[in-house]
Amino acid sequence: MPDKKKVVVTGFGGRIGKVLRDHLGDKYEFSGIDRVPLDGLDSLTADLTDLDAISPAFEGKDAVIHLAPEPRHTPHIPRNPPPPPPTSTPSAPPSRARTCSSTSPPSRATPPTSAGTS
């Protein structure tokens, strides 16, 4: 059997990276790059914006699958983002819910009675 193709995957620890490993791991030799350490996987922990740090991961590989999101689109991974600008929008006024008072249903008019006619 020929050697497996060597494929490096960016965003290796993500949902799609896991699907690739689970379903194609028997056909390809995967390694990866991710911003967080991935225990038990052949991976490099680095930021994709640091070319010097990630370059070694591509040496000797046959293909690259780029799955890593743009770093600002992963809020669950802290990156010390700048604080949001202050807002000048006033807060919304309190809600004024309508309340219905409980009253008895309107009374029905009684039909006129005829006074004793002979």
Q: Domains plus CATH for the chain?
A: 5-71 (3.40.50.720)
In the block, which residue shows the tokens 């193709």?
5
Which tens digit of pLDDT belongs to each residue from 40-72?
999 999 988 889 999 999 999 999 999 987 766
Q: For position 116, what pLDDT does the model report? A: 57
DSSP structural state of residue 106 = P
Rounded distance between C-alpha atoms, residue 29 and residue 9, angstroms: 10
- What's the pTM? 0.58
The mean pLDDT value of the chain amounts to 78
86: exposed, middle or buried (C-beta count within 10 Å: 0-12, 13-18, 19+)?
exposed
Q: For position 35, what pLDDT does the model report? A: 86
Q: For position 32, what pLDDT does the model report? A: 95
21 Cβ contact list (under 8 Å, min separation 6):
12, 30, 41
Highest mean pLDDT among 35-49, 65-79, 99-113: 35-49
Query: Do the Cβ atoms of 51 and 96 come closer than 8 Å?
Result: no
